Amino acid sequence: MTKRMIIMLAAVGVLFGGLFGFKAFLGGAIRKSISAQGIPPQTVSTAKAQFTEWQGEFQAVGTLRAVRGADLAPELPGLITAIHFQSGQEVAEGAPLVQLNNESDVAKLQSLMAAVELAETIYDRDQKQLAIQAVSQAVVDADAATLKSAKAQVAEQRALVAKKLVRAPFAGRLGIRAVDVGQYVNAGTKLVTLQALDPVYVDFFAPQKSLGRIALGQKIVLRTDAFQGQQFPGEVSSIDPKVDPATRNVQVRATVRNAKRSLLPGMFATVVIASGGPQRFLTLPQTAVSYNPFGDTVFVVEESKGKDDKVALVAQQKFVTTGEARGDQVAILSGIKEGDTVVTAGQIKLRSGFPVIVNNAIQPTNDAAPKPKDQ
């Protein structure tokens, strides 16, 4: 190695050494500056962790269906000659709804009725002739068979005529009619829907682990977003005797009174079933909990003494185990204790050990059963 190369290597070493030394000096200066200035206190809102009594309950999402509901359709094809209802009308059981053309059927019925009258006359006359031995018993028996056959044909034709008039099979509310006068319809074509709306069923599924909390006759409360703040009472009316092996859920049906006919089949609703007695849970507003992939956390405000013995408030992050949530509240199963002061707003700008200033002028909602307010 030449003397010139040695000098060059030495120069490069001095240059890099100077750079690293300056960087270390600059980093130390910055850290000293931050330490001297300190971290400014962050303003937060807080709430005390306290025990709340919650009634044990099971919740599920269900679907409403009518106790009796059907899409009405004719059994026979034909031309509509009259419609005897208005869309949305309440009708009684047996009310006439749609008339199909039955002129030829009525004419045939009258012909068959005339045949019955003739058969009756012949049968009565032959019975009198039999009494004086003018005819044989075989003739009278044949007359009786002819009369029975004629009456059966009349009954059949009457049933055919009756099928040309579609009636309400039960009392309820009609939907929007789907046909018009003069329209030809085939058998099975929907004419209108008919739904009995009081009471209604709500069908929902419960996991098998909840079966011990559900029994026939048990009271339920139904809620739907269509009627915010309203509750509809009912009771469990049937439980499917089989658990679905694919989902391990069992279907449950409850009956709900619907005197105002406000609940409609097809709506979804939340079903709440009270079970067991009240239970005590340590609760916080849901805004106090930060939900993270690595675990749920809260910030607890604690007192800390500085070098000058001054007491300051600092935030300490703690992992918690959360339970059931109700309304604005969430149950805390572990991680904090009753009376702890927990940050409910402003925690996004905090780290463990940061000083805080508490300002509770504005508090997040903290109600287990919030109700909507009229605007």
CA distance 271 to 60: 5
Share of the chain above pLDDT 90, in %: 17
Q: What is the mean pLDDT of residues 329-346?
A: 87
Share of the chain above pLDDT 70, in %: 85
In degrees, rounded to 5, the angle at the alpha carbon of residue 48 between the alpha carbons of residues 46 and 54 is 125
pLDDT higher than 80, residue 86: yes
pLDDT higher than 90, residue 152: yes
Q: What is the mean pLDDT of residues 164-189?
A: 91
**pLDDT at residue 5, as a whole number:** 58
Round the average pLDDT of the chain to a whole number and report it: 82
Residue 344 class from Cβ within 10 Å (0-12 exposed, 13-18 middle, 19+ buried)?
Answer: buried
**pLDDT at residue 54, as a whole number:** 73
Q: What is the mean pLDDT of residues 321-338?
A: 84
Q: How confident is the model at residue 96 (pLDDT cuts 50, 70, 90)?
A: very high
Q: How confident is the model at residue 9 (pLDDT cuts 50, 70, 90)?
A: low
Q: How confident is the model at residue 12 (pLDDT cuts 50, 70, 90)?
A: low
Q: How confident is the model at residue 208 (pLDDT cuts 50, 70, 90)?
A: confident
**pLDDT at residue 368, as a whole number:** 57
**pLDDT at residue 22, as a whole number:** 44
Q: Which domains does the chain have, with CATH numbers?
A: 39-54+279-358 (2.40.420.20), 58-66+191-278 (2.40.30.170), 70-185 (no CATH)
pLDDT higher than 60, residue 373: no
Q: How confident is the model at residue 13 (pLDDT cuts 50, 70, 90)?
A: low
Q: Which of 6-15, 120-129, 267-276, 330-339 has the lowest mean pLDDT?
A: 6-15
Q: Which of 241, 252, 212 is nearest to 63 (CA)?
A: 252
Q: Which of 257, 198, 252, 232 is nearest to 69 (CA)?
A: 198
CA distance 74 to 65: 23
Q: What is the mean pLDDT of residues 46-71?
A: 84
Maximum mean pLDDT: which of 84-88, 274-278, 357-361: 84-88
Q: What is the mean pLDDT of residues 182-187?
A: 91
CA distance 79 to 104: 12
Q: How confident is the model at residue 23 (pLDDT cuts 50, 70, 90)?
A: very low
Neighbouring C-beta atoms of residue 279, cutoff 10 Å:
13
**pLDDT at residue 369, as a whole number:** 59
pLDDT higher than 50, residue 32: no
Q: On the CB side of 333, how many CA atoms lie within 13 Å of its CA?
A: 6
Residues 6+ apart with CB under 8 A from 144: 123
Q: What is the mean pLDDT of residues 229-247?
A: 88
CA distance 370 to 364: 12
Q: How confident is the model at residue 7 (pLDDT cuts 50, 70, 90)?
A: low
**pLDDT at residue 326, as a whole number:** 75
**CA 58 to chain CA centroid, nearest Å:** 14
